[in-house]
Amino acid sequence: MSITILGIESSCDDTSAAVLRDGKVLSNCTANQEAHRLYGGVVPEVASRAHQINIIPVVDLAIRQAGIKKEEVDAVAFTRGPGLIGSLIVGVSFAKAYALSLGIPLIEANHMQAHVLAHFAEDPKPPFPFLCLTVSGGHTQIVLARDYLDMEVIGQTLDDAAGEAFDKTGKLLGLDYPAGPIIDRLAQQGQPVFDFPEPQIPGLNFSFSGLKTSILYFLQRHKKEDPDFIRKNMADICASVQARIVRILLNKLSRAAGETGIREVAIAGGVSANSELRAALEKTGRENGWNTYIPKFEYCTDNAAMIAVTGYYKYLKGEFTGQEVAPVARWKV
Ligand code: KG4
Ligand code: ZN
C-alpha cells in the first residue's frame, strides 16, 4: 500500500508545504517572508499574519506540483513546536481543518527532530546511530540519533544559537537580516586575519554570547581609530567571524565523535547551508575517517519536506495525534 503524507511547516517565518509518497519527496514549496528584512529580525506578529496569507496558496501549490489530488493524501503532518506560538497556531489550525475535512489522521512533528530527519528526504541516508549537528537561527544542538524517532541531545548552546551569532554580527556590521548567507558570501572575498576568542565551555555545550560581545568591543575599538573601519575591512571581518563560528562548531562535533565513538556525522539546519562549515565538515571528516552527510540546500533551511519525512516514520509506527492538539513554543527533541 502506498502512503502519501502532506507536511506543513510554519514555526518561524517560512510557510512551507510538501508531499511525500512512500518516503520520496514529490513536492516541497516554501513562501519566504521578506517583510522582516526591514526590522532586522523576525517580528512574530508580522510572521503570523503572513502565514495566514501564504498557507492556502503554498499547500495548493505543493499538491499541484506533486501531481496528486488532495483526496490521495493519507495523513497531514505538521510542526507542533518548538517555534513562535503565533506562527505555529496558523500551521496547526490549518492542518487540523485539512485532516478533519478529508477524514484522515494528523501527525505532530518536532521541528528539531525533523531537521535531523531531513537527511532521509534523499540519498545518501546516514545509518544509525549517527551524530547530527543541528544549527539554525534558534538552536544549536548535537543530537545522537539512535533511530528515526529515538534521539538524544548530547550538547547544546547555553545562550545564543549559531545562526543568531551570524545574524547579530550582521546587525553590528549594518548588514540585512538574515545575515548568515550575506556573511558567507562576503567572507569568500576576505581572509580570517582578526582573531576572536574561543569560548571555554566544558563538555559538549556551546556558548555564542561572549563572541558577540567581543565582536562588539572589537568594532567599537577600531571605529574609534578609523570611523570607516567596517567598510574598509568588511570581507576580512566576515571571514574572521565565520572562521571562529565554524571552528567552535567543529571542535565540539569532533569531541562528540571522540566521546561516542560514532563515525557517521551529519549537519542540519539553516546554518548548515554555510559554505565554510560544509567544507570544514568534509575536511575534518576525511582527517578523522568519518562518513559525512550534508543535506541539499533546500532541506537545510526550514522546509516542510522534513516534516513530511517525520510524519512518514510516525505513520509507519501508528503514532497519530488527536484534534485537541495545541502548538508548543518549547519542546525538547
Ligand atoms: O533553520 P532555519 O532556516 O530557521 C530556524 O529554524 O531558525 O535557519 C535560519 C538561520 C538564520 O540565522 C540564517 O542567518 C542562517 O540560518 N543561515 C546561514 C546561511 N544560510 C542561512 N548562516 C550562515 N551561512 C549561511 N549560508
Ligand atoms: Zn529550523
Which residue do the cell numbers 516554501 mark?
30
Which residue do the cell numbers 508548543 mark?
328
* Percent of the chain surpassing pLDDT 90: 94
Set of cell numbers at residue 259: 566521546
- Residue 38, pLDDT > 80, answer no
Which residue segments constitute the domains of the chain, with CATH numbers given?
A: 4-117+300-316 (3.30.420.40), 126-295 (3.30.420.40)
pTM over 0.85: yes
What's the pLDDT tens digit per position in 44-71?
Answer: 989 999 999 999 999 999 999 999 999 9
Pocket test for ligand 1, best of 13, 171, 186, 271 (most atoms within 8 A of CB): 271
Question: Confidence band (pLDDT; 50, 70, 90) for 232?
Answer: very high
**8 Å CB contact between 101 and 56:** no
Instruction: Summarize the confidence of residues 13-18 as an average pLDDT.
Output: 95
Q: Is residue 138 in contact with ligand 1, taking CB distance under 6 Å?
A: yes
- Spell out the residues 6+ positions from residue 57 whose beta carbon is closer than 8 angstroms to its own: 31
What is the pLDDT, as a whole number, of residue 36?
79
Q: Is residue 180 in contact with ligand 1, taking CB distance under 6 Å?
A: yes
Q: DSSP string spanning 28-46?
A: EEEE--GGGGGGTS--HHH
Q: DSSP string spanning 132-172?
A: EEEE-SS-EEEEEEEETTEEEEEEEBSSS-HHHHHHHHHHH
Specify the ligand 1 atom closest to the Cα of 115.
1
**What mean pLDDT, rounded, does the chain reach?**
96
What's the pLDDT tens digit per position in 107-136?
Answer: 999 999 999 999 999 999 999 999 999 999
What is the pLDDT, as a whole number, of residue 42?
86
Residue 55 to residue 78: CA distance in whole angstroms: 12
- Residue 306, pLDDT > 80, answer yes
Pocket test for ligand 1, best of 9, 136, 171 (most atoms within 8 A of CB): 136
- Residue 179, pLDDT > 80, answer yes
